[in-house]
Structure 1
Amino acid sequence: MAVFVALFLAIAGVAGALTATADSPEIALENPEVDVSESESIDVDGESYVVADISETENDEGQMIISGVLEREFTAETSETWANDSTVSLDDREWRVEVTGENATEFTLVEVLDRQAILEGDENAENETVTLDDGEYVAVTDDSGERTLVPVDEYFPAPEERSHATGETLEYDGQTVTVDEVTADGAVLVWETTETETVEVAQESIVTIEGTDYVAHFPDTSTLRMSTDIEAYETQTAEIDRFNQYNSGLSRVFILSVLSSIMLAGMAFIPSRY
């Protein structure tokens, strides 16, 4: 019994020593194409990306996970179609789009008068027009109290008109836009805008940038490294998996050996029936 106890203790000692002294392999990207810190920029196929953020958060399992964000600003062309006979807002006023002819090369913006606001602003005019058999009128009362009906075409000012041909520019919604095309259906306006592309980077994830695959690694909370040598990365992760598997096996051997030793030692003190 003593021999077996000593044997199990020896096995437990060896397993414990191997578990305690073994160094866990770590991910180490050799000569990575990207090795930057937060706020620094990288160039990929002529495109510039900025490391906008590197942060550490706690996941659902209570583990601290490092992740980052790459951002790239680029210019994109935006277009908008103004349909014929539609209404658009420009310079804080409403305008009606008019296109004349099937082969038109320009369109006209006709101001849509706010007749109600004009009537309400004239203390001598009634707030509603009067419709008779021969047309529409505005009722105006002069200083002597005499009420006169004025045809709406004479009372309201002539609407402003603006014509724009293909290739011309105009200010719209804070942008300088270009008339790209005019058809019988309407006008197409184009302009350039600055947009931002965001790339989320997780720890030891595969990130595709400009058609190239990179493996991402954060050695600390301030550094991002990315490498196209994904095969070498996968080899290292396989080594880590094997290490964890062997280490877990040794831990189980240690526990079983200690428990077996205790059980055998306890059995030695059980009194014999004979």
Structure 2
Amino acid sequence: MQRRAAAAYFAFFLVVSVAAYAYIGVAESQRPEVSLDATAELTNDSTFSVDGTTFTASNIHLSSGGGGHGGGGGSMVADLAWTNESSRYTATLENGSTTTVDNTTYLITTNNESNTVTLTEQMNVTELLREDPAVENSVATQNGTDYVVYRENDTLRPVSEWLPEPQTETYPVSGVYPYQTDSGVQQTTVVDVSAESATVEWFAPRERTVELTEGGNVTLQGQQYFAHFPDHSTVQVVSVDEYPAYQEDLDRQDYFHERKNGLWGVSILSGIAAVLMLGMAYMPTRG
């Protein structure tokens, strides 16, 4: 009698476990999807434009760590790159420092009273001595003063008097200043002058990159968008107007996962119960 009852319970729990497992497979085909009216659907190296600016997607991949929507050990990310054709650059000119423009070295002097920046040519005394055949190629120093020595009669003359008048250029605020960059001389504008330094600015193209994340906001040309990854090789750029629909789809997916996890629980627990019933059927009895 005990074995017949245990066998009946075994069959019942086994049927429940199998039925729940089978229903999981059926339910999987009904998994709700996120369906959005995307502004652009991109794969690696594909592009789209917003107000004349071209954006390029790259590096679409599953990042390590974290936990994207729906579980898992990571979340999808991508890079979106574009060129800002009129990006603002600034540079600081330190008072008393030197700069090189067209292979000539200048001393920078800032004057906050006149709001000006002055460049004073720095003379290469050694080079000038070599170029003047009337004097020796080295200076003589007496009582802390440097002198040039004339070859003809060894006459001495202070170097400061012998040197030519240095070239100077003065640039006021709003004036055009030749700033030396790695790629050459950049015409800039003086925007601020103090006793310690001056600031110049210019506008030029700049490469920009932003990281896209699932559901993360991004501003492109003053317009708000967010990102969605329908699979591991595609990213959608979607207007924020679609965000309520996106959130509704996520809520439906969460509900689906909750119910699916519940079915897994029923299937597993019923399977365990069936095994226990089967084991109980063969337990030895007293007497």
Normalising by structure 1, we get a TM-score of 0.77
The answer for the alignment partner of 1:159 in structure 2 is 166
The match for 1:20 is: 25
1:261 corresponds in structure 2 to 274
Q: Which residue pairs with 1:192 in the alignment?
A: 203
Task: Tell me by how many angstroms 1:12 deviates.
Answer: 1.3
1:22 aligned partner, one-letter code: A
* 1:96 counterpart = 2:107: yes
Mark the CA change 1:77 to 1:254 in structure 2 (over 3 Å): closer, same or farther. closer
CA deviations 1:49-84 (Å, max 9, x no partner) are: 412404224524885754211123221233445466
SS state of the match for residue 155, structure 2? strand
Structure-2 residue corresponding to 1:131 = 142
Q: What displacement does 1:155 show?
A: 3.4
Counterpart-to-counterpart distance in 1, 2:74 and 2:146: 75
* Equivalent-residue separation in structure 2 for 1:99 and 1:16 (angstroms): 80
Spell out the pairing of 1:1-150 with structure 2 (5 A cutoff). Answer: 1=5, 2-23=7-28, 25-44=31-50, 46=51, 48-57=53-62, 59-60=64-65, 63=73, 65-74=75-84, 75-80=86-91, 82=93, 87-97=98-108, 102-103=113-114, 108-119=118-129, 125=136, 127-132=138-143, 136-141=146-151, 147-150=154-157
Q: CA deviation at 1:175?
A: 3.9
Give, as a single letter, the amino acid of the residue that structure 1 aligns with 2:253: I
CA–CA distance in 2 between the matches of 1:13 and 1:235? 32
**Preserved CA contact (<8 Å) 1:140 1:149:** yes
Taking the aligned partners of 1:223 and 1:207, their CA distance within structure 2 comes to 17
Aligned sequence identity (%) = 24
Deviations 1:206-228 (A, max 9, x none): 22314654332222454321322
Contact 2:55 2:80 in 1 (8 A): yes
Instruction: Please report how far the alpha carbon of residue 116 of structure 1 lies from its aligned counterpart in structure 2 after TM superposition.
Output: 4.2
* 1:27–1:233 CA contact under 8 A, matched in 2: no
Do 1:56 and 1:64's aligned partners in 2 also have CA atoms closer than 8 Å? no
Query: How much has 1:32 moved relative to structure 2?
Result: 1.8
- 1:17 is aligned with what amino acid? A
Unaligned runs of 5+ in 2: 67-71
Report the counterpart of residue 206 of structure 1 in structure 2.
216
Letter in 2 for 1:150: R
Instruction: Give 2:202's aligned amino acid.
Output: W
For structure 1, the 5+ residue unaligned runs are none
Relative distance call for 1:10 and 1:188 in structure 2 (3 A) is: closer
Equivalent residue pairs, number: 267
TM-score (normalizing by structure 2):
0.74
How far residue 263 of structure 1 moved from its aligned partner, in angstroms, is 1.7
